[in-house]
Amino acid sequence: MTKYAYFHNEIVPIEQAKVSIMTNTFNYGTGCFGGIRGYWNEERQQLYVFRILDHYRRFLDSARVLLAQLDYTPASLAQITLDLLAKEGWTQNCYIRPIAYKAEESIAVKLHDLKDDVTIFSQPVGNYLPIQGISVGTSSWRRVDDTAIPARGKIIGSYANSALIKSEAQLNGYDDAIVLNQDGHISEGSAANFMMIRNGVLVTPPTSSNILEGITRRTIIELVQNEMGLPVQEREIDRSEAYLADEAFYCGTGAQVSPISSIDHRPIGTGKVGPLVTELQALYFRVVKGQEEKYMHWLTPVAQKVTA
Ligand SMILES: Cc1ncc(COP(=O)(O)O)c(C=O)c1O
């Protein structure tokens, strides 16, 4: 369904966006990526991209960790993405995937003095996780540590860790997993940040718990503080404390707001999606679709398709 990609500095038909098997990042995972959502507003017949500049700021930060030399700014990457989406002409929700990679066809295991490049494609998307309540189990895997592969950089190679976690969880009958860091505290899900509500406080692991610094996490913290009046604590969470949450959920670009109904077979709260997460999820969906005037600054409209 995808027709175009940004590849080698231009928008080309997707069939032309191909790399060699000798590409360094294909061999070693030495690249980084982003994941951004476009939301289609049916009423206005308009595609909006959510927090595009914030996503590209983090993308370039990840690239810095990998010593990538890139001639892009968040604004230039955003413009390329908007041009790509205008050409693609989606009239449905979509997912945008930028990748920065070591383009050199070399088997050198290193980061420096290698040619870097950026590619971007998009595709239609639905819900990555169910949004009506998922069951999760604590993973037997641990989250990659900042001393091994920094989780705050969205580094391609570290997603082997996420894939081990996700498959173990699903093959064991769960929808996803809670992943502990090397200290035994909760880090996050396989590809989403963890949050819980306990005694009227929203609690989420701090950025030092080997989490990805989620854009959705920041969004939720702001919405919860401003619109729901709940205090927020960023602090370490023990596995057993999560069992005692009144409500819990994952958040992320893919996951959106995905309520957790049980952890390790212990029902969270009543085992049904709780009132605060229900309210927050509805608010989040209004914000990303452009139905909340106050948060329109987070959305960038894609120009209508220009047929030359
Ligand atoms: C490991 C991991 N944690 C958290 C998130 C959530 O980050 P964001 O809200 O920026 O999409 C993601 C990506 O979606 C992820 O892959």
Tens digits of residue pLDDT in 4-31:
999 999 999 999 999 999 999 999 999 9
Which of 60, 91, 124 is the endpoint of a domain?
124
Mean pLDDT, residues 38-63 taken together: 97
**Co-location of 240 and 180 in the same domain:** yes
Task: Give the model's pLDDT for residue 283.
Answer: 98
Question: What is the pLDDT, as a whole number, of residue 308?
Answer: 43
Residues 140 and 102 in one domain: no
What lies within 8 Å, CB to CB, of 119 at 6+ separation is 5, 6, 7, 17, 98, 99, 101
Q: Is residue 147 domain-shared with residue 247, that is, in the same domain?
A: yes
The 10 Å Cβ neighbour count of residue 112 is 10
Report how far apart, in Å, the C-alpha atoms of 226 and of each of 190, 194, 208, 238, 249 are: 28, 20, 24, 27, 19
Query: In Å, how far are 102, 132, 156 from 257, measured between CA atoms?
Result: 33, 9, 24
How many whole angstroms from 193 Cα to the centroid of ligand 1? 6
Structural domain for 196, as ranges: 134-288
Which amino acid would we find at residue 95?
A: Y
Q: What is the pLDDT of residue 306?
A: 43
Question: Does 196 map to a domain?
Answer: yes
What digits encode the pLDDT tens for the residues 224-282? Answer: 999 999 999 999 999 999 999 999 999 999 999 999 999 999 999 999 999 999 999 99
Range 208-229 average pLDDT: 98
Are 189 and 45 members of one domain? no
Same-domain check for residues 115 and 159: no
Our mutation pick for probing the ligand 1 site, out of 212, 249, 284, 287, counting the most ligand atoms within 8 A of Cβ, is 212
Q: pLDDT (tens digit, 9 = 90+) per residue, 117-154? A: 999 999 999 887 778 899 999 999 999 999 999 999 99
Do residues 101 and 204 share a domain? no
**Residue 294, domain member (yes or no):** no
Query: In whole angstroms, what is the distance from residue 148 CA to residue 138 CA?
Result: 21
162 and 19 co-located in one domain: no
Look at the pTM and tell me if it is higher than 0.85.
yes
* One domain for residues 261 and 206: yes
For the chain, percent of residues with pLDDT exceeding 90: 95
Q: Any residues with Cβ below 6 Å from ligand 1, and which?
A: 35, 162, 188, 191-193, 212, 214-217, 252-254
**CA gyration radius, the chain:** 20
Q: Within 13 Å of residue 64, how many CA atoms lie on the same side as its CB? A: 9
Domain boundary among 97, 124, 151: 124
At 196, which CATH number?
Answer: 3.20.10.10
Total domains in the chain come to: 2
